[in-house]
Amino acid sequence: MTTRQRERERRLCVVRRAWWHDKAANRWQHFQHWKAAGDRAHFWKRRHLARGEVKAAKVNEEQIAKLGPLVHKWEGKWREADHEVRRYSKRIDELTPKPPPVPSGEGWHVPIAAWNPYRRKVANWIVREIVAAKSRGARGVVNSGLRTYSEQKYLWELFKYHGGNVAAYPGTSNHEGYVYPRGAVDWSDPQSLHGHLPPGHKLKWAESVGFADWPHFSGTGH
Ligand SMILES: [Zn+2]
């Protein structure tokens, strides 16, 4: 099955699940309605019998006989819809593409994730911390990750001569390495990332070490 077919089937499943979910909610209401009516009939039958009102109890008996099949019918219909909801949920899970696993160990890669729209190269140890922070609710995206010497030189020249963003001298930036404590990222919402990093995180926000480079994160903060 191609990716496109999978996506098509997944969308169909989402629509069908919503349809069955609606049905299930509706049938549950019917089921509860008739069940409550049956319970009331049982209650009054017992009470009438306790009072020795046999005739009234007989009427309740007839009600119970009529309500029983209705309860049974709506419970069955509700269970059927509920089963369909679960079935489609399971299928949607199967068809939803899994995010690629975060590589363990050192090195770097290009994370395929919503938080990396510019497809930057990022050190693996930093990716692990970003994934954790994202799952804790961090907002923002990577603006800059691993750089080559010439990329760093270009940014430094922009900074030095053309009023560009803060950039270290080529050859000295943590953006040029990826083995901890080297490796760096610039993040669009640094306060949010800083606030959602997992306990024991190694990534330091420049601001938190008094280094004036607002979006910058690295092992040392520089
Ligand atoms: Zn930076």
| 115-131 pLDDT, tens digit each | 999 999 999 999 999 99
Q: How far is the CA of 101 from the centre of ligand 1 (A)?
A: 25
Is 100 part of a structural domain of the chain?
A: no
Q: How far is the CA of 217 from the centre of ligand 1 (A)?
A: 6
Collapse the DSSP code of 163 into the 3-class scheme (helix H, G, I; strand E, B; otherwise coil) and give the result.
coil
- The range of the structural domain enclosing residue 15 comes to 3-95
**C-alpha 210, offset from chain centre:** 34
Is 192 part of a structural domain of the chain?
A: yes
How far is the CA of 117 from the CAs of 23, 113, 128, 178, in angstroms? 39, 7, 17, 20
Residue 193: how many CB atoms within 10 A of its CB? 26
Q: How far is the CA of 83 from the centre of ligand 1 (A)?
A: 52
Q: How far is the CA of 172 from the centre of ligand 1 (A)?
A: 12
Domain boundary among 95, 130, 157: 95
Tens digit of each residue's pLDDT (9 = 90 or more) over 92-111: 989 987 777 777 888 999 99
**C-alpha 139, offset from chain centre:** 13
Residue 144: how many CB atoms within 10 A of its CB? 20
Helix 3-50 / helix 54-95 crossing angle, nearest 10 deg:
170
Q: How far is the CA of 50 from the centre of ligand 1 (A)?
A: 83
CA distance 218 to 214: 12
CA distance 200 to 14: 39
Q: How far is the CA of 124 from the centre of ligand 1 (A)?
A: 16
The whole-model pTM stands at 0.59
Domain boundary among 95, 118, 137: 95
Is 101 part of a structural domain of the chain?
A: no
Q: How far is the CA of 199 from the centre of ligand 1 (A)?
A: 22
Which pLDDT does position 102 carry in this prediction?
A: 77
**C-alpha 112, offset from chain centre:** 16
Which pLDDT does position 165 carry in this prediction?
A: 87
